[in-house]
Chain A
Amino acid sequence: NAGVTQTPKFRILKIGQSMTLQCTQDMNHNYMYWYRQDPGMGLKLIYYSVGAGITDKGEVPNGYNVSRSTTEDFPLRLELAAPSQTSVYFCASYGGTGGLEQYFGPGTRLTVT
């Protein structure tokens, strides 16, 4: 299994541009999450999904959108990029049974200038 994969690894955007961060998992997990990590600030939850067709806001959803059309994919959309969205973005998934052990992707490092 590849686990959780994210693309791209790095991206530089200009202010006002849009982009989609891709996240795919091959573990048939129902739960998927998007986090952002700013230096020294830990992880903040942006959006999460409990299954295909169901998404909900996390702690810092402004400026982002998500969709979950399949169990495997959970893309994160930035519509009008702003410098405040410069961060490292992590996608994670969880099977929904037992402990809340989340599996993380390698991250996408985004710079908005």
Chain B
Amino acid sequence: SQELEQSPQSLIVQEGKNLTINCTSSKTLYGLYWYKQKYGEGLIFLMMLQKGGEEKSHEKITAKLDEKKQQSSLHITASQPSHAGIYLCGADDGNNRLAFGKGNQVVVIP
């Protein structure tokens, strides 16, 4: 089965600083999905990456897919308190199902 390792498990950043989190797959990535979860709430879809080298941005969040490394990174520029939460990556297992990593917990301090 496909396993996704997310690193770092948790990080604390000061408001205004940049941060990067990573998601590494044990198998070839056919599609990589980033979600954000606030405590006690459901998952909100952020971005989908399907092609090697693909890069997408939304507001201050940029996600990249490195097909050779079987890895995706999510970069947040000038972090704000609204960026705090758990970021989960999910990979398409080829059968219309997503396998998820354990998440990156992000804390933004004023």
Contact = CB atoms under 8 A, between A and B. Distances in A.
Interface of A: 4, 31, 33, 35, 40-45, 48, 50, 58-59, 90, 92, 94, 96, 99-107, 109
B97 A58 contact: yes
Given A99-B50, A100-B31, A100-B92, A43 B45 contact: no
Contact of B33 (A50, A101, A107): A101
Contacts of B92: 100
Nearest to B102: A42
Contacts of B35: 104
Interface in B39-63: 40-45, 48, 50
Q: Which of A40, A41, A58 has the most CB of B within 10 A?
A: A40
Q: Which of A58, A94, A99 has the most CB of B within 10 A?
A: A99
10 contacts: A33-B97, A40-B9, A42-B88, A42-B101, A42-B103, A43-B88, A45-B97, A45-B98, A100-B31, A101-B33
